[in-house]
Structure 1
Amino acid sequence: MPARIGDVPIPRTCPHFLILRRAVRRVASPGRIAVIGVSGGPDSLMLAAAARAEDVAVHAVCVDHGLQAGSGEQAERAADQVRSMGGNADVAVVDPSAFPGGTEAAARAARYRVLGSTAARLGTSVWVGHTLDDRAETMLLAALRGNPGGLAEEAVVPGTAGTGYPVPLLRPFLGVRRADTVGAARELGLTPWWDPHNSDTAFRRVALRREILPALAEVVGGDPAPALAGASAKATEDSDLLDRLADDALCRHREDTGDTATEVLPVGIGMEHPALRRRIIARFLRENGATVTSRGTSGVDALLSDWHGQGPVAVGGTTDGRRLVVARRGGILTVSAR
């Protein structure tokens, strides 16, 4: 074990940090660059620390969303902490208002945009510090939205799937508890940043974390997070298989009809199993810059499987303020802006 990472000494005994290093070791390629989103919180900060301890060349991106007073100073502080470990770090200022959705969704989209572009420029992957606790919370939140699923250990950075370089997204800490990242920071003598938004129960995720999960713990007589995270992992595996089957079905229908353009969806898709139809519709919407929601997906599904002359379905908007709609015309569905 190295005695230090950059200017940060590693104590002889550090059980929490050892757990993090073992998690990183599963995906690390010593000497290879990893772009890591570092807010300065315990999860992302310790992901950078564990990566450096495993000889990964860390290039941190510390995003200033401009949503809180002093956010720029915090981003600079996080970058300095990474540099003290011997990593490289950039501060990126983003404007979430340029992205659709609520505050959290827009900030996430803005953050992934800069992380993805940095990784594409460096020809590498993006790492983020989501833990087992995040996986459990996301499982519940997704179920409440009517689309049970969760975080995958390996994915593609949102917004890069349709580009020439779909940027890999890795989550090395999905088997690690949040308590271990906090404990590891304490072992290394590092002071993480505690985002005030993480104490605001006006945010659904925070309310779930502070109120619902403790209530569930009382109901089941133990910590519900491992079981929820396990369910999330299984749901992710199932979803991966269904996505592959949906891709095959979509290709087959497009070849049969000759409508190979991504702007067109053959209505023959309506004959597929509902689970495949939903995934084909979601892919179709994403490929055309539309928003994927349960309501929009159900409306488009009805155009395929329950057609009785209904009108276009709204599926989001464009950056210039026009509505995006999906309409059925003859034997195809098309997306257009109005």
Structure 2
Amino acid sequence: MPDPSATGPTGPGGPAGGAPRRRPAQPPPAVATARRAVWRALAAPGGPQAGDLVLVACSGGADSLALAGAAAFVAPRSGLRIGGITVDHGLQDGSAERATAVAGTLRGLGLDPVEQVRVDVGSAGGPEGAARTARYAALDAAAERHGAAAVLLGHTRDDQAETVLLGLARGSGARSLSGMAPRIGRYLRPFLGLDRAAVRSACALMGLAAWDDPHNTDPAYARSRVRAAALPVLEDVLGPGIAKALARTADLLRDDAEALDAWAGRVETEVRGPEGGLDVGALEALPRAVRTRLLRRAALAAGCPAGALTAGHVAELDRLVTHWRGQAHVDLPGGMRGHRTGGMIAVTPSPR
């Protein structure tokens, strides 16, 4: 598919068509870069096909508005339909009016269909986690409603660096430190390789008026503290390029994590017993990185909530394999417990 991201169609002309063609005006470099990033994401193997609908998730911030503007240009030239959705979390005064304004901007860019969806944010996982859960549930529902082949998200390289630092602070493993994937399921993140400043420059150059969410600078939120304090300090102490280096680390760790996940998937049937437990002898023969993945999968399959199952829980399950001293069981979230019986590791509901 030819790259339409930097210029528009040129039309007929030249020696075979009469008058010479006028060369289309070139967009500013930041705008061309944003368009090219969207084109690459949409044109990647396994991406949406001609005629498919793609939705842009837009909060009204500079990153997602730039994404909407770039997608509005690229998608039709790639044979795709482009729509948008804005989610009103209802956490601030005037949020409904802002959502209406964002929806109007998306329609003005030519996106169709455009939806604004109000969600109820719970409390599980803390304020940031609860808002994220509600938002993705709304995006999933909208994609199903409209039959969208993909949903575009406006995360940038700086967002990726913040995610990696937050994972480091929690002592997370490679899967968490690998950050956000450029593509996972229906979700595409075209701007993950672009820095925030370049994306915001593109937004301004497109003439789009962005809204700055005060939550992004509220020190009550861990991500806001990383953005406002931790990353600038690292830049001062270690020199520029920290965000880029952290994002590159995430890419490398993602490759490793995907390879280990694939390994675990290949051997899972070999270590699983007839009753669904995992064979201790087969687990002992595996590298710890593969073994713990299998134990985590077993806990999740049995009903442990993914958000509550920590690396510590999995480490205790692993001790049932490698440091067995007759332990009775390991308590797990969701009212579950892991235990070793007859050379098998099983995760079952805790007795009431």
* TM-score normalised by the chain length of structure 2: 0.80
Shift of residue 329, structure 1, vs aligned partner: 4.1
Q: Which residue of 1 aligns with 2:18?
A: none
- Check whether the contact 1:250–1:269 (CA below 8 A) recurs between aligned residues: no
* C-alpha distance in 2 between matches for 1:80 and 1:308: 64
Please give the secondary structure, in 2, of the residue aligned with 1:174.
coil
Q: What is the letter of the counterpart of residue 212 of structure 1?
A: A
| 1:223 equivalent in alignment to 2:252 | no
Alignment partner for residue 104 of structure 1, among 128, 131, 148?
128
Q: What is the letter of the counterpart of residue 307 of structure 1?
A: W
Q: Which residue of 2 aligns with 1:176?
A: 194
Aligned-residue Cα RMSD (Å) equals 2.4
Q: Which residue of 1 aligns with 2:64?
A: 44
Q: Which residue of 2 aligns with 1:80?
A: 104
Q: Which residue of 2 aligns with 1:34?
A: 54
Shift of residue 48, structure 1, vs aligned partner: 1.7
| 1:19 equivalent in alignment to 2:33 | yes
Please give the secondary structure, in 2, of the residue aligned with 1:26.
helix
* C-alpha distance in 2 between matches for 1:114 and 1:315: 29
Please give the secondary structure, in 1, of the residue aligned with 2:316.
helix
- Check whether the contact 2:41–2:189 (CA below 8 A) recurs between aligned residues: no
Identity %: 36
The verdict on how the C-alpha distance between 1:198 and 1:275 changes in structure 2, with shifts beyond 3 A counting, is same
Alignment partner for residue 266 of structure 2, among 235, 240, 248?
248
Shift of residue 93, structure 1, vs aligned partner: 1.9
From the CA coordinates, give the structure whose radius of gyration is larger: 2
The verdict on how the C-alpha distance between 1:200 and 1:107 changes in structure 2, with shifts beyond 3 A counting, is same
* C-alpha distance in 2 between matches for 1:95 and 1:311: 41
Query: Which consecutive unaligned segments of at least 5 residues does structure 2 have?
Result: 1-6, 10-23, 43-47
| 1:326 equivalent in alignment to 2:338 | yes
Shift of residue 289, structure 1, vs aligned partner: 4.6
Please give the secondary structure, in 2, of the residue aligned with 1:106.
helix
| 1:304 equivalent in alignment to 2:321 | yes
1:303-327 superposed Cα distances (whole Å, 9 cap, x missing partner): 333232334434333xxxxx34434
* C-alpha distance in 2 between matches for 1:336 and 1:283: 16
Alignment partner for residue 313 of structure 1, among 326, 330, 346?
330
The verdict on how the C-alpha distance between 1:189 and 1:138 changes in structure 2, with shifts beyond 3 A counting, is same
* C-alpha distance in 2 between matches for 1:11 and 1:111: 38
Q: Which runs of 4+ in 1 moved over 4 A?
A: none
Alignment partner for residue 292 of structure 2, among 270, 278, 301?
278
The verdict on how the C-alpha distance between 1:11 and 1:205 changes in structure 2, with shifts beyond 3 A counting, is farther
* C-alpha distance in 1 between matches for 2:278 and 2:119: 35
The verdict on how the C-alpha distance between 1:37 and 1:258 changes in structure 2, with shifts beyond 3 A counting, is same
Shift of residue 225, structure 1, vs aligned partner: 0.9
* C-alpha distance in 2 between matches for 1:270 and 1:103: 40
Q: Which residue of 2 aligns with 1:165?
A: none
* C-alpha distance in 1 between matches for 2:260 and 2:292: 10
- Check whether the contact 2:53–2:82 (CA below 8 A) recurs between aligned residues: yes
1:262-291 superposed Cα distances (whole Å, 9 cap, x missing partner): xx4444434421111222233333333523
Please give the secondary structure, in 2, of the residue aligned with 1:27.
helix
* TM-score normalised by the chain length of structure 1: 0.83
**For this pair of structures, how many residues does the alignment match?**
310
